[in-house]
Chain A
Amino acid sequence: MSSLLGFIFLVLSVLLSFITIASEIYRKLEFKNFLIISRASTISILFSFLCLVYAFIISDFSNYNVFQNSHSDKPLIYKIAGAWGNHEGSILLWICTISLYGFFFSFQLNVEENFKRLTLAIQHTLYIFFSIFVILTSNPFLINSINVNQGLGLNPILQDPALAIHPPLLYFGYVGYSLVFSFAIAVLLKKNTNNHWVPIIKKWSLISWTFLTSGIALGSYWAYYELGWGGWWFWDPVENISLMPWIAGLALVHSLFMARGERILKKWIIFLSILCFSLSIFGTFLVRSGILTSVHSFATDASRGLFILLIFFLITGFGFLVFLIRAPENERPLDLMFINKTSALIINNVLMMIATITILLGTIYPIFIEILTNKRISVGGPYFNSTVIPILLPGFLLMSIAPILSWQSNKIKKTKLYVFSFLLLSIIILAQSYFTNFNTWGFLGILLGTWIIVASIIAIITSHKLVLSFKYLKNINAFIAHIGVGILILGITFSSIFKIENNFFIEEGEEMKLIDNTIIKFEEIKITNESNFQSLRALFLIKKNNKKTANIQAGKNYYFVSKTITTEAGIYHDWLKDIYIVLGNQEDNKWFLKIYINPLVSFIWIGIVIMIFAGIIGVIKK
């Protein structure tokens, strides 16, 4: 029943979208009624999505999608998350998000009526493309042809709280760029002369970027504790394609900061807005088509891939075509100087674009090679580490000084203070790494990370007087975001370069000693039965200086329905290091254990949280 209702709501929503577009073309409707129909379309698709969620909650196995992806023994939260844990449901969520962005935009103040109408009409066009895709190739409301009273279950590795909210966050990021796209196209078509649109596009691109950051971070955090590989980023194609719109989006946000009154890189901003959404659709195409061999698993189907590819070419082609025909003129030249803020921001944008292209090449290169030579290659972590990181290094250096550059002159305030602090910092870090284990990349990473933090703090102290107000927070927001990046760089450097891996093969009751004199006692093995899985846990006690500091549990879960095992790494979080335990096999009474000491992993998450915080502050109005 809910399936039928869901489908009706879906079709109704598409019809309402058609009416919205038609009324924009023929101008038959008053603005008030136009908005009502546009919003009704969103409410209808929300109902449709709720119908799907409801079918999952009550385990309605007459719905083919629920039958394929759910099971009545699953905990409620994973039944709900199951609604978007599969291809059909996740694409329904995707179109729901497109519509929602239009919905929220319809309440945006300070936009001319014509402008709002046009943007919404374009947004509805995008919505219709993707909803036709849902109806024709990925309908989540198909009726199960056989009568069953149990479902096939959700992939156990996806039964995890972080992964339950990861797709919605990621989609709110990706799809947010649809609105930025629609808005940019509207700007092109209207040939609007004033620059009132700049703060609006800034707001929406910051919202998308903030969601995208949270989504990627959450996925990365999940990979860290769930996959049991001891790392948090693997340069997997699926990760790369989320990184491309992220970097392009970051370039967009920065290019918007360049806008000063009439002096603005209009063309470039619009180009980036179109690019961000194109990369988002391209990512969806690569993930959903199964063209990329990835260790992440997704439903794959060639016809779906082709369909998305078609939509991709239509939307991107249309976007760039309009851009070519109607690209705005820059009326006033920018304040370019040898070394001022504008030049620094331009170089920043150039670097970000090069990084995006490098990742794109590395990700799709294997596809071209396979088509052309029939050979299969894999481009993995080492390639990306040794190309993308060197490209980003000058950008990081620039970032540490960019906020203190001036807009109108080549002068840098308090140059001596900065040069002095930089030299002092270099000497301290050089000495520190010389007396410990020196590593060139490690040294560079630590220097850049700490320098970005120090330079930002100096800038905050010297240029803004401390007042406890929101305005103050808003003024120093760029520095806060950069401090987040600095902390992130430190976390990445330490956790990847100074990571220690130990293997042990011991019995219950024995103790292990790690390099830093931490003692880990393997206490016992415990087996318990949960509602839909059996868990095996090894309990460990961590002692430092003969004092008990913490307990860790590492183990495996065995899921009855899908007959699969998942690894549950045991992680002890500390501000300075993580102790990461993976339980291996058993022989007689002995167990094989892999123990990683990952220094400063917490800095990665702290850095990202600071960046997200800065994103939110950036969105909120004064």
Chain B
Amino acid sequence: MSLRFQRLFLILVTFVLLLAAVLLILFNSQKNIIFFYTPSELINEKPKVGQNIRIGGFVKEDSLKKITINSYEFEITDNNNAIFVYYNGILPDLFREGQGAVVDGIIEKPYTIKATNIYAKHDENYMPASIKEDLEKNNQWKKNYK
């Protein structure tokens, strides 16, 4: 086989692999991408029940309730609107009322999320940049949040 044929063959293989990768990416970006909302956006967007989403905001003061030893209820707020969350599992160490948190979960009914994962940042001053921006825009940003 000639060198020229070889080059053509390799280009063909590369092309097929690239095509496969593009198809994989397209297919997965339909299925595996999760939208990230603030509570107010969630209420505006009205996503479907059963959809996987991620929300970020503060844990509302006096909203954290322990139902059983490892299940909790609390609200995530952006100081305008609040979303009700319930969760089975161990809360992160830095999770507390008045602090920022990010919740992955499934919409059970409007304004209620069943959490699958909860993140509180390693850093006690953590606040997702996007949420900070929203809060500043709405003049809800308090200095002591840092």
Binding site for B on A (CB under 8 A): 155, 157, 228, 290-291, 293, 295-297, 300, 333, 336-338, 343, 346-347, 350-351, 354, 357-358, 361-362, 365-366, 370, 375-380, 382-383, 386-387, 390-391, 394, 503, 505, 556, 562-567, 582, 584-585, 587, 590, 592, 594
Partner of B17, one of A157, A333, A350, A361: A350
Tell me if B144 counts as interface (CB < 8 A to partner A).
no
Q: Is the CB of B33 within 8 A of A290?
A: no
**Known interface pairs A350-B14, A376-B37; A582-B90 also in contact (CB < 8 Å):** yes
Counting CB contacts under 8 A, is B94 at the interface?
yes
Question: What are 30 A-B pairs with beta-carbon distances under 8 A?
Answer: A155-B123, A290-B129, A293-B130, A297-B121, A297-B122, A336-B6, A336-B10, A338-B6, A346-B10, A347-B14, A347-B17, A350-B14, A358-B21, A366-B36, A377-B35, A378-B34, A378-B36, A379-B29, A380-B32, A380-B104, A382-B31, A383-B32, A390-B24, A391-B24, A556-B93, A564-B94, A566-B93, A582-B90, A584-B90, A585-B70
Contact of A387 among B28, B34, B121 (CB under 8 A): B28
- Point out the residues of chain B lying under 8 angstroms from A565, CB to CB: 93-94
B88 (CB) vs chain A CBs: closest residue: A503
Query: In the complex, A378→B104 CA distance in Å?
Result: 10
Distance to closest chain A CB from B17 (angstroms):
6
Q: Which residues of A contact B124 (CB under 8 A)?
A: 562-564
Quick check: B13 and A350 within 8 Å, CB to CB? yes
| Total cross-chain contacts (CB, 8 A) | 127
B33 and A379 contacting across the interface, CB-CB below 8 Å: yes
Q: How far apart sit A361 and B21, CA to CA, in the bound complex (Å)?
A: 12
With known contacts A391-B21, A582-B90, A584-B90, A377–B3 Cβ distance under 8 A: no
Which of chain A's residues have a CB closer than 8 A to the CB of B119? 295
CB neighbours of B7 from chain A (8 A): 336
Considering only residues 111-128 of chain B, those with a C-beta below 8 Å from chain A are 119, 121-124, 126, 128
Q: Counting CB contacts under 8 A, is B54 at the interface?
A: yes
**Residues of chain A contacted by B104 (CB below 8 angstroms):** 380
B145 within 8 A of A: no
Q: Report which of A295, A366, A386, A592 forms a contact with B28, defined as CB distance below 8 A.
A: A386
- Knowing A338-B1, A584-B90, say if A293 contacts B69 (CB, 8 Å): no
A383–B28 alpha-carbon span in the complex (Å): 6
Roughly how many angstroms separate A592 CA and B66 CA in the complex, as a whole number?
13
- Contact-residue bracket for chain B: 35 or more
Flag if A376 contacts B28 (CB, 8 Å). no
Contact A333 B3 (CB under 8 A): yes
A333 and B7 CA atoms in complex are apart in Å by 11
Q: How far is the CA of A590 from the CA of B10 in the complex (A)?
A: 63
Structural contact, A361 and B25, CB atoms closer than 8 A: yes
Tell me the bound Cα distance from A370 to B69 in angstroms: 38
Q: Are B122 and A157 in contact (CB under 8 A)?
A: yes
Q: Mark interface residues in B14-44 (1 if CB within 8 Å of A CB, else 0).
A: 1001101100110011011111110000000
Residues from chain B with Cβ under 8 Å of A592 in the complex = 69-70, 90
- Give a binary string over B55-66; 1 marks a CB under 8 Å from any A CB, 0 the rest: 010000000001
5 nearest A-B pairs in the assembled complex, by CB-CB distance: A297-B123, A376-B36, A336-B6, A383-B32, A565-B93
Q: Kindly list chain B residues whose C-beta atoms are within 8 Å of the C-beta of A394.
A: 17
Note all chain B residues with C-beta closer than 8 A to A351.
Answer: 17
Contact A336 B70 (CB under 8 A): no
**Other A-B pairs, 4, CB within 8 Å; known A343-B10, A354-B21:** A350-B17, A382-B31, A562-B124, A564-B94
Q: Which residue of the partner chain, among A296, A358, A378, A584, contacts B70 with CB atoms under 8 Å?
A: A584
A566 vs B25: C-alpha distance when bound (angstroms): 37
Chain B residues in 8 Å Cβ range of A357: 21
Interface residues of B in 63-82 (CB under 8 A from A): 66, 69-70
Please give the distance in Å from B32's CB to the nearest CB on chain A.
4
Highest count of chain A CB atoms <10 Å: which of B18, B37, B54, B123: B123
CA distance A505 to B7 in the complex (A): 64
Name the residue of chain B whose CB is nearest to the CB of A297: B123
Judge whether B129 and A505 touch: CB under 8 Å. no
**Docked CA distance A370–B37 (Å):** 11
Complex Cα–Cα for A375 and B93 (A): 29
Indicate the member of B9, B13, B69, B119 with the most A CB atoms within 10 Å. Answer: B69
Q: Which residue of A lies closest to B128 (CB)?
A: A293
Interface centre among B10, B29, B90 (most CB of A within 10 A): B90
Kindly name the residue among B17, B93, B121, B126 whose own CB sees the greatest number of chain A CB atoms within 10 A.
Answer: B93
Residues of A close to B28: CB separation below 8 A? 382-383, 386-387
Say whether B70 contacts A503, CB under 8 Å: yes
Contacts of A157 in B (CB 8 A): 122
A394 and B126 alpha carbons, distance in the complex (Å): 41
B32–A295 CB distance below 8 A: no
CB within 8 A of A376: which of B6, B10, B14, B35?
B35
Contacts of A379 in B (CB 8 A): 29, 32-34
- Taking a contact as CB atoms under 8 Å apart, the answer to whether B3 and A564 are in contact is no
Contacts of A347 in B (CB 8 A): 10, 13-14, 17
Interface centre among A378, A386, A564, A585 (most CB of B within 10 A): A378
With A and B bound together, what is the CA distance between A375 and B34 in angstroms?
11
Chain A, Cβ-Cβ closest to B56? A293
- Known: A347-B13, A380-B32, A387-B21. Is A155-B90 also a contact (CB below 8 A)? no
Please report the C-alpha to C-alpha distance between residue A358 and residue B20 in the assembled complex, in whole angstroms. Answer: 12
Q: How far is the CA of A241 from the CA of B64 in the complex (A)?
A: 36
Q: What residues of chain B lie closer than 8 Å to A375, measured between beta carbons?
A: 35
Shortest beta-carbon distance, B141 to chain A, in Å?
A: 16
What is the CB-to-nearest-CB distance from B22 to chain A, in angstroms, rounded to a whole number?
A: 9
The answer to whether residues A377 and B34 also contact, given A350-B13, A386-B24 and a CB cut-off of 8 A, is: yes
Residues in chain B near residue A293, CB distance under 8 A: 36, 56, 102, 128-130
How far is B130's CA from A358's CA once the two chains are assembled, in angstroms? 25
Closest Cβ–Cβ distance, residue A262 to chain B (whole Å): 16
Chain A minimum-CB-distance residue to B18: A354
Bound form: Cα–Cα A562–B94 in Å: 11
Residue among A155, A157, A376 having the largest count of chain B Cβ atoms under 10 Å: A376
Given A155-B122, A594-B90, are A380 and B25 neighbors across the interface (CB < 8 Å)? no
CA distance A590 to B130 in the complex (A): 40
Chain B neighbourhood of A584, CB < 8 A: 69-70, 90
Query: Nearest-CB distance from B133 to chain A (Å)?
Result: 11
Minimum C-beta distance from B16 to chain A (A) = 10
Chain B, Cβ-Cβ closest to A385: B32
Distance (Å) between the CB of B107 and the closest chain A CB?
A: 15
Smallest Cβ distance from B9 to chain A, in angstroms? 7
A584's nearest neighbour on chain B, judged by CB, is B90
Contact of B90 among A358, A386, A566, A585 (CB under 8 A): A585
Chain A nearest CB from B102 CB (Å) reads 8
Among the listed B10, B34, B123, B130, which residue makes an inter-chain contact with A370, where contact means beta carbons less than 8 Å apart? B130
Q: Smallest distance from the beta carbon of B115 to chain A beta carbons, Å?
A: 14
B65 to chain A: closest CB distance in Å? 13
